[in-house]
Amino acid sequence: MLNITTSPVIVSTSPATGRKLGEVPIATSDDIKSAMVTARLAQEPWDRLGLPSRLALVRGVLESFYRSTDTLIDKVVAEQGRPRFEVMAEFLVTIELIRYFSSVAGKILAPQDVFVRLLPWRKHRIEYRPFGVVLVITPWNFPLVLSVAPILAALIGGNTVIFKPSEFSTQLGELLVSVFHQGGIPDEVLQIVHGDGKVGAELIAVHPDKIAFTGSAVTGRKVAAAAGNLLIPVSLELGGKDAAIVLGDADLNRAAEGIVWGGMHNAGQACASVERVYVMRPVADRLVQKMVRVMNDHIRLGPGEAYDTSMGAITTEAQRAIISSHVREAVAGGARVIVGGRPAQDDNGQFYLPTLITDVKPDMHVLTDETFGPVIVVVPVDSHQEALRLANDSRYGLTGSIWTRNTALGLDLARHLKVGNVGINDHLMSSNAPNLPWGGVRESGYGRTRGREGLLEMVTPQAISVDRALSLPREFFWYPYTPLKTGLLRRLIDVMYAPTWREKWRRR
């Protein structure tokens, strides 16, 4: 009898319809080792190609992305169950990021001459070198921009990349890498490997030279610990429990519109989603009423392919269980659900109703832990100082927003928010700007993607010092040490650093 063995696979299905979309093989230990060997062999030739030549290929990638616009959008809509408009917006941010990197990387990563005051007879410069092989691990919630940003920055810097997308965005991951290859990036320079956390751990164990991880704080700790044991540098973009502060003078109509969108975009499955709202007590009821109206008037659940869908599915059943758990605990503890508060009735898809909650207690998980779903909690406060204190009373620190007509006060509060990105009269939209650095503080991670900081994250600076002319037979600071040299050095310290002219030229 013939024995037929099959490799384990990841099956991708639509969270909105339950339809099977495809499958990919899970990488074996041999696959992982082979990918690392290939990446290492390809890295030096890729680096020696030079920055101008690599940027020429990136411009080919830009064209390839444009030619694949509808294909990429269709794939994300199907695999994530998101509204087409939202996916188009993510694509727009992604392709603009490619354009931005291709236009500024030549200047940002160019060698820089540096004058060293203590060694003026020598030339000094800073040049940027690649780390080597970069492991990029990305999540499922924004699989275009959260994947392209670190991959592209790493490639531009002269690194080769091993890319592990989430097991819930494998079909898009395959297409994404194909589009890069069609744009001119060699196959061996960018490779894709599929699997769950076990595969991720094995990828770290083969010792990449840099890790860029985007995902939950729980997994981020594991990645950081494993990388730390091997002394591998790592950048982490993790979760958030982001807060909006609404002052008494705010345009409540705009605040309601912006906060609801900021909390419900991608069904709340964004690390930058508004999950907490601290509003001045005199206007709290009016804000809640306006938020209810926005939810009722503008949010329609459904599969992303439907033209009138404004909120799609919850991508994983495990995430929907977390959302339900947070809401049930809050209700059991006395919180009041104004809108929603339960999974939507749908035989095929994983949907959760847009939810607004008030009357919460400070220790409820819906107020302290990342819900990562379409749930917004509103908390009345008595002063902007109290709002700031409560907003900062979180172990996370990714984004925040201030809603006020007083720009000066808004800026002052923004500077005291312990987060990586702040919006005034906006929360989520401006955080997608490709030329601004993106990342958080505290348990929201460290390191940055996007902006000039995102490019510099993927290279390591090297300082070079060289003679301006012929080498002297001996440097002043070399042996032998003599009384004359010691006296001259002391005089030099006086001349350069003494605060008064008398002290600069005093006799010793």
- Residue 191 and residue 247 in one domain: no
Residue 305: predicted pLDDT: 78
Share of the chain above pLDDT 70, in %: 98
Residue 469: predicted pLDDT: 73
Alpha-carbon distance of 431 to 438, in angstroms, equals: 7
- The whole-number average pLDDT for the span 154-180 is 98
For every residue of 440-474, DSSP letters joined together read -SGGGEES-BSHHHHHHTTEEEEEEEEESSSPPSS
- Residue 262 and residue 398 in one domain: yes
Q: Which of 82-86, 118-122, 310-314 has the lowest mean pLDDT?
A: 118-122
Structural domain includes residue 344: yes
| Closest by Cα among 170, 224, 209 to 47 | 209
CB 148 within 8 A of CB 176: yes
Pick the residue with more confidence: 86 or 432? 86
Residue 412: predicted pLDDT: 97
Residue 345: predicted pLDDT: 83
CB 424 within 8 A of CB 407: yes
Residues classed as catalytic? 237, 271
Structure confidence at residue 3 as a pLDDT band (50, 70, 90):
very low
- Residue 220 and residue 159 in one domain: yes
Residue 6: predicted pLDDT: 55
- Residue 27 and residue 65 in one domain: yes
CA atoms lying within 13 Å on the CB side of residue 27: 27
pLDDT tens digits, 180-237: 999 999 999 999 999 999 999 999 999 999 999 999 999 999 999 999 999 999 999 9
Neighbouring C-beta atoms of residue 69, cutoff 10 Å: 13
The verdict on pTM exceeding 0.75 is: yes
Pick the residue with more confidence: 79 or 306? 79
Question: Mean of the per-residue pLDDT values for the chain?
Answer: 95
- Residue 270 and residue 215 in one domain: no
Residue 503: predicted pLDDT: 87
Structural domain includes residue 226: yes
- Overall number of domains in the chain: 3
H or E segment and range at residue 423: strand 421-424
Alpha-carbon distance of 77 to 117, in angstroms, equals: 57
pLDDT tens digits, 431-486: 889 999 999 999 999 999 999 999 999 999 999 999 887 677 888 889 999 999 99
- Residue 180 and residue 95 in one domain: yes
* pLDDT score of 488 more than 50: yes
Structural domain includes residue 73: yes
* pLDDT score of 390 more than 70: yes
| Closest by Cα among 175, 157, 155, 179 to 165 | 175
Structural domain includes residue 335: yes
Residue 76: predicted pLDDT: 97
pLDDT tens digits, 402-413: 999 999 999 999
Sign for the CA dihedral angle at 69, 216, 259, 341 comes to positive
Structural domain includes residue 283: yes
- Residue 217 and residue 265 in one domain: no
| Closest by Cα among 362, 106, 373 to 264 | 373
* pLDDT score of 28 more than 50: yes
Residue 308: predicted pLDDT: 78
Structure confidence at residue 428 as a pLDDT band (50, 70, 90):
confident
pLDDT tens digits, 173-186: 999 999 999 999 99
Alpha-carbon distance of 421 to 438, in angstroms, equals: 7
- Residue 306 and residue 392 in one domain: yes
Structural domain includes residue 441: no
pLDDT tens digits, 92-136: 999 999 999 999 999 999 999 999 999 888 899 999 999 999 999
| Closest by Cα among 460, 458, 438 to 448 | 438
Alpha-carbon Rg for the chain, nearest whole angstrom, is 27
Structural domain includes residue 339: yes
Structural domain includes residue 11: no
Amino acid at 222: K
- Residue 231 and residue 257 in one domain: no
- Residue 216 and residue 354 in one domain: no
Structure confidence at residue 5 as a pLDDT band (50, 70, 90):
very low
* pLDDT score of 388 more than 50: yes
CB 313 within 8 A of CB 349: yes
- Residue 328 and residue 193 in one domain: no
* Tokens 């990714």 belong to residue: 398
CATH classification of the domain holding 69: 3.40.605.10
Domain that holds residue 66: 20-237+452-460
Alpha-carbon distance of 170 to 172, in angstroms, equals: 5
CATH classification of the domain holding 334: 3.40.309.10
- Residue 79 and residue 188 in one domain: yes
- The whole-number average pLDDT for the span 138-147 is 96
